[in-house]
Structure 1
């Protein structure tokens, strides 16, 4: 069944989402407020310290074998699982809140002591630094040489300030999302190398450290870290965490990661049912769509019309997910802040149809931009300011591994591969009007798709009509272009040979590993 984006259908769904947030309540975060199930039309203003821990050697794990086979994905998932369980234990024991764990990135919030207490901000920053150092020290000891799992190399970014906490997720998968400068700046300063603990100037000022021209280049000194640790006085030690983690690993072993294919479409993949022994792996397309300019937008409105932030985020993200899942039969993996990450695949239970998958991904990218533009128009009509917002889209093709990490009852979903990392990198090189295609997808795509992106593999204003090759006339429904456009082939292509994958559990790779 061909996939298509239709303006009338998108407009109808956007109108429904606008009704969800006709009246939005903005309240201050107070002690013991539950942030796990925030209603759609509500947001909390939260003063806190945001900590991002970035595992720097994830890419090394994905390249531990020359070919991206089962073995490197098994090792990578185990690598992430072991370290996630250790870090989650640290957060639980130090009264920090896990906000998100997306592949190599952890986001945590330190909200105690609350602002009603003197010196609260300094105390939170000191505590965040102490927790960060504990994460670094513990993860030095949670590798496993027998399983070819190295210790994690960690870089931590910390910022302090006010953010908006809203609902993150839909359909039973809900968690808090923090919007604004502190979460964004902590993530930015955590990116890059070398390892260490890096504080923004706002966080540095809170504990009396001098302002720097570029704090991302100056990790805290050991003396500064020791001062923070002494002030925080955590009542847990590195050794106790490591001992508890080892005991937990003995009592609740991870087990081997075993893969089967999912019969397309990916929309029907039951991610909550996945476990290490019941994971998925096959050739597919990974796509990232990020709302560009959203942090500045939040900063502009957090004290003036914060309701606009809640309305814009809810309407846009709900529609992006609908396009991915309903129009193009893809599967949302997760929302990452103001970004959506999804997978899609065309083919059969045995094989992935390479060119059809890339074509569907290209049209999906066009549909995402068309719906985004339509959502902005409808938000504007309702008096919601959307100035400065754009959509940056990147996608790539390759083998994708999907599983869940952690223990039963508290697992987090995970999709990881070289292609996942590449698709995010493609998105990151785009402005709010651009779409980029990864090198592997570009090489395997039909010439009509390569022509769309050119030698730079990046193009501007690629909406759905552009992907079908028939610009809509004024007043014409975009769906009328379906059927003879640029990306439409006369008949579905046969499943590509050379990309077969057995519809059964995949055994360990027989290729020798060159672990890095």
Structure 2
């Protein structure tokens, strides 16, 4: 059956999710509280240091071949696997928490010592800086000449402060998500630069007694400043000891050969928790990044006042975005990255991907995401909740994508990677909160209707479901025409203003099981 978005279905789901968070509980995080089992209607205020480590030379591995074939994907996945295992061992030894390992980007949390201890924040920062240098030193020794895997070039960003921890994900993949300036600023310090080193925000520098910098994102800690933190932290582990234990781990628990098979569409049937290196899915697909624009500012302005509405807004929007991706369009959520959804969509058979159909459906999916986002805000505001000035920035790109889980058995992390993943995230980052952008590879592989819709800029504003479907159908897109026909067969006719192209809501009957 043709994929469609329907306002009635969206409204019912949004109402249900709003019911989940009628009563929200906010607690201060303390020792022995689990960050993995935060209830849906709860959030913890957490005073901690946030560390982001970005591996800068990942794209070099993907671009070693003109064609994005299996060899460069295998090499890149081995690269991720080796470095994930090494970094995980470091975090365990320094008593830090891995929040997420999103391909080339690590997010770790230093919550100990707790605030009850004297100079706790300073000690956390010193420990984070010492651990950051340990990560840099260890990853510099994890190259594998036989597999043509280089040493990682690492850039670290660090900030400190209070953030809001909420549940991130669904059953089978639950982890904490941290909302607030400290997490966001640390991420930007790591990802918004190309030079190696350890970079601290001015807030973190002030705690350590370091001079404020006009542009801290351009000023790495000096060797002497790092050594001072290393001495104060007095970590009980060294880079040589970590590397030795890591090599023994690699010998006792080898990575294993990466073997690729295809997932028969729809991708929502892909069982990611069952994937391993030897059972990796790989095929041409569209990578989708949908980011809630303005959310960090919204959280910062409500962290101490009306925090409950932050929890409500995030829960309702994310749940509805995932429903549109998976239920309506047969896509697969890879993960939530903060307030951003990363998903995949593919149309075709068990043997081949239909590129034009996949990109066409991804375009209408993007429209459905925006329509549901707008409806969710409308309903939240109608219920009296404060939602701030939020938007949705969407990036799409097309190409071969490998999906697997890396690490040791019992401690694996999901990974979906390819040039299109990097491309779609870059497109999303370049969008304002009302824009949808199409990557160059997707634009080149799309049909004429999609290219006409996005234009030479490959970007369009306010693309909701109706506009996407109508525009594509009017240009001869077969999938969009089928979706429009199905909507009209199962619904009262839409009333379209010829001058404004404003469409009055219509009701589509629920799809049969």
- State the number of aligned residues: 481
- Corresponding residue number in structure 1 for 2:211: 210
Task: Indicate the residue corresponding to 1:423 in structure 2.
Answer: 424
Q: CA deviation at 1:487?
A: 3.9
Q: Could you say if the C-alpha distance between residues 189 and 151 of structure 1 is closer, same or farther in structure 2, counting changes exceeding 3 Å?
A: same
SS at the partner of 1:352?
coil
Please give the per-residue CA displacement for 1:12-68, whole angstroms capped at 9, x wherever unaligned: 000000000000000001112111110000000000000000000110111122210
1:336 matched to 2:337: yes
Q: How many angstroms apart in 2 are the aligned matches of 1:177 and 1:137?
A: 28
Q: Deviations over 1:393-421 (max 9, x none)?
A: 00001011111111111111100001110
d(CA) in 2 for partners of 1:345 and 1:356? 8
Q: How does 1:246-395 map to 2 (within 5 A)?
A: 246-395=247-396
> Partners in 2 of 1:487 and 1:380 — Cα distance?
36
- 8 Å contact kept, 1:467–1:486: no
Alpha-carbon separation, structure 1, partners of 2:163 and 2:97: 15
- Structure 1: give runs of 5+ residues left out of the alignment: 471-481, 493-516
Residue 148 of structure 1: SS of its match in structure 2?
coil
CA distance in 2, matches of 1:295, 1:61: 32
CA-CA distance at 1:355 after TM superposition: 0.6
Matches within 5 A, 1:46-445: 46-191=46-191, 192-445=193-446
Per-residue CA deviation, residues 230-281 of structure 1 (Å, 9 max, x unaligned), is 0110011111100000000000000111100111110100111100000011
Q: Would the aligned equivalents of 2:2 and 2:482 in 1 still touch at CA under 8 Å? A: no
| 1:2-41 map, 5 Å | 2-41=2-41
Question: Which protein, 1 or 2, shows the higher relative CO under an 8 Å CA cutoff with sep ≥ 6?
Answer: 1
In the TM superposition, residue 485 of structure 1 has moved relative to its aligned partner by 7.8
Q: CA deviation at 1:437?
A: 0.3
Determine the C-alpha separation between the residues in 1 that align with 2:189 and 2:121: 19
**1:171: Cα distance to partner?**
2.4
Distance in 1 separating the partners of 2:79 and 2:280: 15
Contact in 1 for aligned 2:47/2:111 (Cα 8 Å): yes
| TM-score using structure 1 length | 0.92
Indicate if the aligned counterparts of 2:290 and 2:340 stay in contact, CA closer than 8 A: yes
Inter-partner Cα distance in structure 2 for 1:81 and 1:222:
29
Instruction: Give the Cα–Cα distance (whole angstroms) in 1 for the partners of residues 62 and 424 of structure 2.
Output: 15
**Which stretches of structure 1, 4 residues or longer, exceed 3 Å deviation after superposition?**
482-492
Q: Contact 2:206/2:212 (CA < 8 Å) preserved in 1? A: yes
Cα distance in 2 for residues equivalent to 1:253 and 1:147: 13
Long gaps (5+) in structure 2: 484-513
Task: Give 1:446 shift.
Answer: 1.6
SS at match of 1:348: coil
Please give the residue correspondences for 1:498-509 in structure 2 after superposition, counting only pairs within 5 Å.
none
Equivalent-residue separation in structure 1 for 2:36 and 2:259 (angstroms): 32
